Amino acid sequence: MKSPHHKRTAAPALMTTAQRMLVWCLVLAPLCIAMAQQGKNGSAKGLNGRYEGSAKNAAGDIITVAFELTEKDGAMSGMIRSDHGDFTITGGSHKGDDVRLEFDGNGASGTILLKLAEDKLAGTWSAGDDGGSVEVKKAAAQEAPKEKS
């Protein structure tokens, strides 16, 4: 018979359970962080939205521009609105940080080559004999107008 002073403890079993939980936390934490970072850099939402900024042409004129972009499965579409008119985005792609937009420049096809950095797109554009630099930033989402009651 065991002595009354001998107590049975469950500490070794609890420590094993605690150790297992710690291992799971250490495994799951980096996965959660990676998923959160993917959501922050916009890759889950693509480039959808409005980007505003400016471009320069070959003459050095500064042109106010806005890109209204829609991305579906890496393919780009939308509109380019500028001081020089509105242009339909006829094609393009988004792969990693590289963005390519093709547009109809009033009879001359145009191309915009951009690099994505955070919420900015910067690069060059060309259409016919003209071209230059371009930089736009993601515009803040506008709230839907409130209905009057």
Q: Return the top range by mean pLDDT from 37-51, 65-79, 135-149.
A: 65-79
**Residue whose C-alpha is closest to residue 139's, from 48, 51, 19:** 51
How distant is the alpha carbon of residue 93 from its chain centre? Answer: 14
What is the C-alpha separation between 1 and 109, in angstroms, rounded? 95
First to last CA, the chain: 83
Percent of the chain's residues with pLDDT above 70: 65
**Angle formed at CA 113 by CA 108 and CA 116, multiple of 5 degrees:** 145
pTM value?
0.66
Which pLDDT score is estimated for 3? 56
* 42-51 pLDDT per residue, tens: 444 688 999 9
Q: 109 is written with which tokens?
A: 């096809």
pLDDT at 68 over 60: yes
Residues 69-118 pLDDT 10s: 999 988 999 999 999 899 999 999 999 999 999 999 777 899 999 999 98
pLDDT band at 140 (very low <50, low <70, confident <90, very high): confident
Tokens of 142: 């506008």
Q: Which residue has the tokens 């850099």?
A: 41
Question: Which of 69-107 are b and which e, b meaning 16 or more Cβ less than 10 Å from the residue's Cβ?
Answer: bebeeeebebebbeebeebebeebebeeeebebbbebee
Torsion angle of alpha carbons 90, 104, 55, 41, nearest 10°?
A: 0
- pLDDT: is 130 or 46 the higher one? 130
Percent of the chain with pLDDT over 90: 53
Buried b (16+ CB within 10 A) or exposed e, 29-43: eeeeeeeeeeeeeee
Q: Would you say residue 55 has pLDDT above 60?
A: yes
> For the segment 11-23, what is each residue's pLDDT rounded down to a tens digit?
555 567 667 666 6
